[in-house]
Amino acid sequence: MKIEVFSPTIRRKEMDAVLSALVDDALGPGELSLKLLAVAKEYINFEYGVSFRSPTFALFYALKALNIANNEGVLISALSPYYYIQVLKDASLTPIIADVDEHSGNLTKATISKALQEASVPVRCIINHHTLGYVPNTADLTEFGIPIIEDISRSYGTNTGELKAGALGTLTLLGLEERDVLTAGGGAILYANSRREAAVLKQFAELPPEYQLPDMNAAMAIVQFKEHEKNFARRKEIAEVLLQASLRTRHKRFLQLDIAEYNNYSFPLILQTGMKDVVAYGNKKEVAVETAFNDTIIVKLPEYQSSCPTAYSLSLRTVLFPLYPRLSGKQIEKIAKVLATLP
């Protein structure tokens, strides 16, 4: 049986929590949604947060909270999720697409400076997506004096020194989708770390129920927060085995900041050989291998490939191997063997 690249970390505790919500008829937003925000605040230490049915709603209202005028610019990485483009369009804002650093896949001062110089409109916000869970140097990016929305959907659990991922953003978005670090089967939390931004977010606390996270999803997310440290440790344990296997090949890994420990959201490799050969080899050995950036702007909008050559190159060469807490010992051994013998 093929080992898939992703499998949501859902165990008996999550299922029991959802079943309890169903038994209590807690389907729409209610007490569990409020409890989720209290639990999330305990783990993240934010000032104030709001939960939404999807990251698209959360991002839209994050932009609205910053009061950006129509048609002004929002700078985003070429490796950001494609849905950013639709949200910016819906908000009547202009996307400014920036290239990324070849070693981390993230925005840097250099790539942002270049994009700002070439921007056709004033840039009023930076959405700092943490590519494949790798945490960028956000402290450097704050020097531009432009509000930053940090998207930590895939980097949750990573600390940078004494700070948690997302702590330096003007606002921070934590997605709870199927392929995010924490999953509620859908949804997102938007939060503020300071009182000033918290005051702005409070205006969205009374949005109609159709915008809010249902209790059924909140029940799952609460357990995900409480189980994260155990899952983080398991991911690290698996990653160490896979890393040793990958070191036998000529393929490369992304680099994490020295002051941060990668949360092992996934196991990406930057290939030095053809992607098709590696994907085919994995399939032959019943280990799924996926291209890493299929859902990104650089893949969906080819017109940016010439202006963002590094992101384009990474999109052609980066693949993901299975890495999630539910992997068994035999499965880990199987993946490691494939990694060690890649073409």
Dump pLDDT digits (tens) for 23-36: 455 556 678 889 99
| Residue 22, pLDDT above cutoff 90 | no
CA distances from 74 to 245, 247, 318 (A): 41, 39, 26
**Residue 135 DSSP label:** P
| Residue 236, pLDDT above cutoff 70 | yes
The CA radius of gyration of the chain, in Å to the nearest whole number, is 20
The string of pLDDT tens digits covering residues 265-320 is: 999 999 998 899 999 999 999 999 999 999 999 999 999 999 999 999 999 999 99
**For residue 15, what pLDDT is reported?**
55
| Residue 13, pLDDT above cutoff 60 | no
Indicate the range of 8-12, 73-77, 253-257, 323-327 predicted with least confidence.
8-12
- Of the two residues 257 and 171, the one the predictor is more confident about is 171
Across 111-118, average pLDDT:
97
**Residue 284 DSSP label:** H
| Residue 257, pLDDT above cutoff 80 | no
**For residue 27, what pLDDT is reported?**
58
Across 97-119, average pLDDT:
97
**For residue 256, what pLDDT is reported?**
84
Confidence band of 113 (pLDDT split at 50, 70, 90) = very high
Q: What is the DSSP string of 212-253?
A: SPPHHHHHHHHHHHHHHHHHHHHHHHHHHHHHHHHTTSS-B-
**For residue 87, what pLDDT is reported?**
98
**For residue 175, what pLDDT is reported?**
98
Confidence band of 343 (pLDDT split at 50, 70, 90) = very high
- Tokens for 106, please give them: 């993230």
- Tokens for 3, please give them: 């080992």
Across 161-174, average pLDDT:
92
**What's the longest Cα–Cα distance across the chain?**
57
Our CA dihedral for 312, 318, 319, 320, rounded to 10 degrees, sits at -110
To the nearest 10 degrees (0 to 180), the angle between helices 329-340 and 215-246 is 50
**For residue 9, what pLDDT is reported?**
66
- Tokens for 298, please give them: 């650089």
The string of pLDDT tens digits covering residues 170-229 is: 999 999 999 999 988 899 999 999 999 999 999 998 899 999 999 888 988 998 898 899
- Closest by CA position to 37, among listed 155, 166, 174, 162: 174
Please state, in angstroms and rounded to a whole number, the distance separating the CA atoms of residues 96 and 73: 6
| Residue 17, pLDDT above cutoff 70 | no
- In the three-class reduction of DSSP (H, G, I as helix; E, B as strand; rest coil), residue 57 is classed as helix
Please state, in angstroms and rounded to a whole number, the distance separating the CA atoms of residues 267 and 100: 19
**Mean pLDDT for the chain overall:** 92
**For residue 24, what pLDDT is reported?**
57
| Residue 163, pLDDT above cutoff 90 | no
Q: Which residues in 295-331 are b (16+ Cβ under 10 Å) and which e?
A: ebbbbeeeebbebbebbbbbbebbbbbbbbbebeeeb
Q: Percent helix, strand, coil in the chain (nearest 5)?
A: 45, 15, 40
Please report where in the chains the tokens 């432009």 appear, as a residue. Answer: 146
- Tokens for 289, please give them: 């291998």
Please state, in angstroms and rounded to a whole number, the distance separating the CA atoms of residues 338 and 40: 38
